[in-house]
Structure 1
Amino acid sequence: MKSLTVLDLLDLDLKEHNALELKCLAGRKGLVREITVPELNRPGLPLNGFYENFAEQRIQLVGRGEYAFLEKLFKERETDSVEKLFTYTIPCCIFSHNLQPHKYFLEIAEKSHTPVLITSLTSSEISVRLIRLLSNYFAPQQTVHGVLVEVAGSGVLIQGDSGVGKSETALELIERGHRLVADDAVVIRCISGNNLIGSGTNKVIGHHMEIRGLGIINISHIFGVGAIRDEKQIDFVVQLEEWDSSQIYDRIGSHETTTDILGVKVPYLKIPVKPGRNIPIIIETAALNERLKQKGQYSAREFNKNIIQWLESENARKVYLENYNNKQDIK
């Protein structure tokens, strides 16, 4: 099972709206404890003495309500439920709003090697940021061979056999103003069960490309930082393959084809490659067409509908003319 330690949580270099602003007040020997689930727990019931089904594997978040109750317990010297809290191997306790834990609370935490952290963020804000971070960290993921580019706002995963021209196609798309996310190896994470986010395996080398005959190139240096991005939602998959005259390729596009990635169905397009076909423009058009589909406009379906209406009108006109001619012959 994937996990990270409390120390990892403290060491994360998060900026702006992702920053956790955490500081450790006690229990530093327990910073190696692992966080194994992307969920939080508010320990109101346990502090009141109810420990049945206590979620000890979760981070314990103490807000103003729990803090006021703790102060009451310490004032009345009823600390049994607090002491029992630290008999469980909880990952850590986090106090929001810069609330300073009671001295005795810190002493118990220190003895049990349980990290006690503090943040200036509100309970709701630290909850949102932590859940977002942990959900991303624990999200199911897989690494696939291909190139991920952002084309007209859509994330396009280009796959195919080695040497079919994936990187060259992506390079021309970048030259046309689109952006590279990752080349060769793409890490895909499934967020919230239905959102596929793709990124490179390494931020240092992620925006480099290997072009046969040219070597390794740095996209951000050549085309500028506007030609790259760190991650992107995958909207559809393009499979490049050598043209096979024995195969029948879709020429209408009325049937929606999908592929499965981490249990999520993603639109799938197979494009045959041969000399004379401008693959980047085809992919660019496919991306625009996919955006139209997301808005409820299906070109192939509308084409079929118009053809059917035209055929029906033609048939109706023929029937009318035949009936009219028959009547004229009788007269």
Structure 2
Amino acid sequence: MAKSVSVQELVDNTHLHVFSGQEYLDRPITTSDISRPGLELTGYFDYYPSERIQLLGITETSFAKDLPEEELIKDMTRMCQADTPAFVISTELEPPKPLVKACADAKIPILESKLNTSRVLSNMTDFLEAKLAPRKSIHGVLVEVYGLGVLITGDSGIGKSETALELVKRGHRLIADDRVEVYQQDEQALIGTAPKILNHLLEIRGIGIIDVMTLFGTGAVRSETKVDFIVNLDIWDKDTKYDRLGTDRDSVQIFDVEVLKLNIPVKPGRNLAIIIETAAMNFRANVMGYNATDVFDAQLNNLIKDNSTPNNGKDGK
């Protein structure tokens, strides 16, 4: 079944107001695409995306005023299809009277906004894309560390939630525990959020479920954040060769986005919260163009070069 958002949810989240059709706000919206019906006002309906929200701005309403009334009534009636979610009028414009009547007959709400058409379009698109985008549920814990979204994964019982709790106590923020819902925001960004039933909750074995917002305050939680990199916790194995120089870069593809993955071995005595904080700071340094591994390689190459240079007969005697 296709995902949908009600017109009521759109109104509540995008600064829109109801002009008419308050009783029809339960109509579903199934696509984030928005239509600006210009060609339709000329009578062209060979391709009319009736399932989209229809947005009318200054251009469309000005053109409609110059149309013969009979033609305008015909066009507005044809635009009000059974699957049309709503009409939106921007810039505090007056909806054409034939549209008001056609929407009333078809039980379609008309929404309005003080904002200009571009801003209204952007607000609606951002909201609908976030709500209607395909989502993937990932077993793990999502925290925000120094402004970066860190997805902590690993086997059940390895200490993901306990590590998140320590990070929260150190001033960082929890987004989701146990299950993280991830969706692709654009070509390069993934957004992670918690299932509604798990908002602000953290499960600590031996204690049970705790409400992080209640215990640590509103500053300890966020509703969503970008997933910048993954920290995968592994049980320490003395026979496993772990990356010590930062040269063995691993990644995971989620939807169309490649996400850096760090494999951190876990054993008694390792402070995982500090390690993850350091990983976040190092990730930010890399993004800003500084890579300690590259610096080490350059220094090592210079040392090898200096030691291999002939001393031109000078033997120190």
Total equivalences in the alignment: 315
Q: Deviations 1:130-167 (Å, cap 9, x if unpaired)?
A: 01111111222111111111112211111111111111
Provide the secondary structure at the position in 1 that maps to 2:265: strand
Alignment of 1:31-180 (within 5 A): 31-74=25-68, 79-86=73-80, 89-180=83-174
For the Cα contact (< 8 Å) 1:139–1:190, is it kept in 2?
Answer: yes
Instruction: Return the TM-score normalized by structure 2.
Output: 0.91
What secondary structure is seen at the aligned counterpart in 1 of 2:75? Answer: helix
Q: In structure 1, what is the equivalent of residue 226 of structure 2?
A: 233
Aligned to 1:324: 313
Equivalent residue, structure 1, for 2:304: 311
CA change 1:222–1:6 in 2 (3 A) is closer
Per-residue deviation at 1:258?
Answer: 1.0
Does the CA-based 8 Å contact 1:151-1:287 persist in structure 2? yes
Note the C-alpha offset of 1:272: 0.8
Contact 2:57 2:89 (8 Å CA) reproduced: yes
Asked if residue 255 in structure 1 is aligned to residue 244 in structure 2, the reply is no
CA distance in 1, matches of 2:221, 2:7: 32
CA distance in 2, matches of 1:32, 1:226: 34
- Inter-CA distance 221–108: structure 2 relative to 1 (3 Å threshold): closer
User: Is 1:285 paired with 2:278?
Assistant: yes
TM-score (norm 1): 0.88
Give the whole-Å Cα distance in 2 for the aligned partners of 1:325 and 1:120: 83
Q: Does 1:294 align with 2:280?
A: no
**Cα offset for 1:287?**
0.7
**Residue 185 (structure 1) aligned with residue 186 (structure 2):** no
Aligned to 2:7: 6
Q: CA deviation at 1:96?
A: 1.5
Structure 1 residue matching 2:243: 3-state secondary structure: coil
Matching residue of 1:329:
none
Query: What corresponds to 1:242 in structure 2?
Result: 235
**Whole-Å separation in 1 of the counterparts to 2:171 and 2:71:** 67
Cα separation, partners in 2 of 1:54 and 1:77, compared to 1, 3 Å: closer
**Amino acid in structure 2 at the alignment position of 1:258:** S
> Larger radius of gyration, structure 1 or 2?
1
Shift of 1:104: 2.9
What is the DSSP-based 3-state SS (H/G/I as helix, E as strand, rest coil) of the residue aligned with 1:305?
helix
Is the aligned partner of 1:274 residue 2:267? yes
The gaps in structure 1 that reach 5 residues or longer are 327-331
Distance in 2 separating the partners of 1:310 and 1:140 = 52
Q: Please give the per-residue CA displacement for 1:50-109, whole angstroms capped at 9, x wherever unaligned.
A: 223222221111111211222222557654333332357422211112322233322222
| Counterpart secondary structure, 2:66 | helix
Q: Provide the alpha-carbon RMSD of the alignment.
A: 2.3
Task: Say which SS state the counterpart of residue 259 (structure 1) adopts.
Answer: strand
Point out where structure 2 has 5 or more consecutive residues left out of the alignment: none
